[in-house]
């Protein structure tokens, strides 16, 4: 059965004001018009990774990872032109003909997330999110399945490989700071997630213009099952984070990387760091695109609260299990 993509639906609705299909209309308790905080947004911390004061960086990352589970990083070392190339080739892919994009479609009932698609997981009452996507691994090279990497534009592979190489240094530095923030040796967290075998899965989220952004969501509320997620946005705002019973807009900072604490870091830290609960809203007139990279342990890696952080006063709050088992439960909405 042919799948109708959201980008196609958006094109057919472009001249029909105030109309979206029923399956995209969220319940009132989820609709952005009713749930987005309208007052002053508290400042979501920004880390300057070039700060020579390591102690200050450690304090800041520990505090924001405990309180927000999300922060932005500037002066991160990824060259601006590398990010621009990543964005350019991703945008070009979604501007291809539908026929060409379908060459990279995620196979039906595939175990892997890789490929071009629309609906990622089953939702209650058959609701849908206003987004199309492309998933593929970008690191380590042994995990890359290039049949899901677009051949058009021709520079797609080079741009993504270059970005992945640069991103690894950022992730390594963040994991060191997070370890130090827990009072641990600098490499504990990185090694607990597999060291050099840490896997990087890229997703491009493509949110077409939506006639009723007040009623729809681009991505429904969730936490990421990864260890860390590093996100590059375009300049169209849309990311929102849930804190203190409110949905807050995340401010766009040019050339910054947005870092999400994921479930595996929360588990490893035994709850000290919080996996951020977040969602994406859409825009009436402009395309929003984001490039999250999910950094996760290898599938057979066993992850649980670090023994150094567990004692009689602070018992383990999470089960220890293989990452692939955690992933299966998360995707199928099963108890952990």
Q: Quick one: pLDDT band at residue 18, thresholds 50, 70, 90? A: confident
Q: b/e map of 263-288 (b: 16 or more CB within 10 Å)? A: bbbbbbbbbbbbbbbbbbbbbeeebb
pLDDT at 322 over 80: yes
- CA atoms of 209 and 219, how far apart (whole Å): 14
Q: What percent of the chain has pLDDT over 70?
A: 97
Mean pLDDT value of segment 215-221: 95
Tokens 């505090």 correspond to 63
Whole-number pLDDT of residue 108 = 84
222 is catalytic: yes
- CA atoms of 167 and 242, how far apart (whole Å): 26
- CA atoms of 266 and 226, how far apart (whole Å): 10
User: How does pLDDT run across 174-188, given as a tens digit for each residue?
Assistant: 999 999 999 999 999
Mean predicted lDDT score pLDDT of the chain: 94
CATH for 6-331 is: 2.60.120.330
- Selecting among 76, 101, 128, 203, the annotated active-site residue is 203
Helices H / strands E in the chain, number of each: 9, 14
Can you give the residue ranges of every domain in the chain?
A: 6-331
User: How does pLDDT run across 105-137, given as a tens digit for each residue?
Assistant: 999 877 889 999 997 666 667 789 999 999 999
User: How does pLDDT run across 246-295, given as a tens digit for each residue?
Assistant: 999 999 999 999 999 999 999 999 999 999 999 999 999 999 999 999 99
- Selecting among 91, 222, 319, 324, the annotated active-site residue is 222
Whole-number pLDDT of residue 275 = 98
The structure tokens listed for 306 are: 């670090």
Please state, as a whole number, how many other Cβ atoms lie within 10 Å of the Cβ of residue 327: 17
Q: Which residue has the higher pLDDT, 242 or 110?
A: 242
76 is catalytic: no
Whole-number pLDDT of residue 124 = 65
pLDDT at 1 over 60: no
- Selecting among 127, 128, 132, 224, the annotated active-site residue is 224
pTM assigned to the model: 0.95
**Distance between start and end Cα atoms, the chain:** 33
- Selecting among 76, 136, 243, 278, the annotated active-site residue is 278
- CA atoms of 233 and 251, how far apart (whole Å): 11
**3-state secondary structure (DSSP) of residue 219:** strand
């Amino acid at each position: 059965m042919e799948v109708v993509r959201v980008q196609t639906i958006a094109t057919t609705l472009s001249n029909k004001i105030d109309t979206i299909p029923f399956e995209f209309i969220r319940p009132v308790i989820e609709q952005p018009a009713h749930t987005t905080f309208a007052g002053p947004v508290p400042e979501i911390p920004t880390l300057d990774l070039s700060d020579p004061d390591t102690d200050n960086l450690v304090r800041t990352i520990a505090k924001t990872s405990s309180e927000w589970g999300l922060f932005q990083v500037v002066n991160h070392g990824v060259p601006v032109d590398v990010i621009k190339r990543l964005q350019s080739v991703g945008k070009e892919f979604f501007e291809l003909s539908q026929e060409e994009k379908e060459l990279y479609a995620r196979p039906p009932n595939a175990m892997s997330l890789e490929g071009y698609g629309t609906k990622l997981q089953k939702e209650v009452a058959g609701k849908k999110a206003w987004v199309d996507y492309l998933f593929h691994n970008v690191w380590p090279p042994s995990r890359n399945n290039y049949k899901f990497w677009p051949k058009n534009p021709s520079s797609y592979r080079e741009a993504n490989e270059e970005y992945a190489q640069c991103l690894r240094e950022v992730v390594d530095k963040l994991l060191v700071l997070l370890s130090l923030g827990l009072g641990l040796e600098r490499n504990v967290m990185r090694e607990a997630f597999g060291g050099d075998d840490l896997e990087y899965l890229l997703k491009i989220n493509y949110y077409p213009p939506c006639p009723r952004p007040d009623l729809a969501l681009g991505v429904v509320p969730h936490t990421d099952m990864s260890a860390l997620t590093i996100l590059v946005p375009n300049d169209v705002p849309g990311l929102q984070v849930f804190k203190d019973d409110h949905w807050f807009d995340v401010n766009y900072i040019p050339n910054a990387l947005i870092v999400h604490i994921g479930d595996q870091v929360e588990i490893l830290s035994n709850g000290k760091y919080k996996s951020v609960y977040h969602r994406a809203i859409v825009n009436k007139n402009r395309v929003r695109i984001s490039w999250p990279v999910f950094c996760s342990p290898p599938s057979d890696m066993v992850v649980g609260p670090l023994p150094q952080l567990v004692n009689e006063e602070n018992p383990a709050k999470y089960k220890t299990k293989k990452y692939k088992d955690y992933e299966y439960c998360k995707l199928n909405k099963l108890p952990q």
